[in-house]
């Protein structure tokens, strides 16, 4: 629903009548999962199930797979090659265009995949100042922006 006033009114009535489904649906902090499509919704539900198991039943046999839902990225390099986004999707960050407030600064390098696991480890160690040296990574992973620190 695109009308925030109407959404607030419906949510207020749902709270008054204790209709929890509508209250949750019109919660302004809720991510509109229905907009991500059936395939992504199923993927999210599977991941949520694994997160719940990890929080409540760490001995569950499903969690024994150390590579559950992970991809062998070094074997699938062509999948992660840079591609231009569809023109209908605006760029979140335009690393190539100049903007008035950054016109005097050099352009940042475009993120790229690291050439090897050893190179990644070296860069990761530099990025974290050795904070994770000696850590047992057998049941841990790194996610987020840190995974592109290859320059």
* pLDDT higher than threshold 80 for residue 150: no
Tens of pLDDT, residue by residue over 5-56, are 888 888 889 889 988 888 888 888 887 877 888 888 898 899 999 999 999 9
What pLDDT shows up at residue 55?
93
Side-chain half-sphere exposure of 73, counting CA atoms within 13 A: 13
End-to-end CA distance of the chain: 43
Q: How many domains does the chain have?
A: 1
* 61 part of a folded domain: no
Note the maximum CA span of the chain.
Answer: 59
pTM of the model: 0.39
- Length in residues, the chain: 151
* 130 part of a folded domain: no
Range of the domain at 10: 1-30
* 101 part of a folded domain: no
Tens of pLDDT, residue by residue over 55-87, are 999 999 999 998 888 888 888 877 777 777 777
Write out the DSSP string of 50-94. Answer: HHHHHHH-TT-GGGG-TTTT---GGG-GGGGS--PPPTTS--SS-
- List the structure tokens of 37: 């499509």
Tens of pLDDT, residue by residue over 129-140, are 888 888 887 877
Tens of pLDDT, residue by residue over 99-112, are 555 556 677 777 77
* 21 part of a folded domain: yes
* 11 part of a folded domain: yes
* 127 part of a folded domain: no
């Amino acid at each position: 629903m695109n009308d925030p006033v109407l959404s607030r009114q419906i949510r207020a009535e749902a709270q008054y009548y204790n209709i929890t489904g509508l209250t949750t649906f019109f919660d302004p902090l809720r991510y509109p999962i229905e907009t991500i499509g059936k395939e992504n919704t199923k993927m999210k539900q599977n991941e949520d199930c694994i997160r719940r198991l990890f929080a409540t039943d760490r001995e569950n046999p499903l969690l024994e797979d150390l590579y559950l839902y992970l991809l062998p990225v070094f074997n699938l390099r062509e999948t992660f090659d840079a591609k231009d986004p569809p023109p209908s999707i605006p760029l979140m960050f335009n690393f190539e265009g100049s903007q008035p407030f950054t016109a005097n600064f050099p352009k940042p390098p475009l993120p790229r995949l690291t050439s090897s696991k050893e190179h990644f480890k070296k860069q990761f160690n530099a990025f974290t100042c050795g904070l994770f040296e000696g850590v047992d990574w057998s049941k841990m992973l790194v996610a987020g922006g840190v995974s592109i620190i290859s320059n």
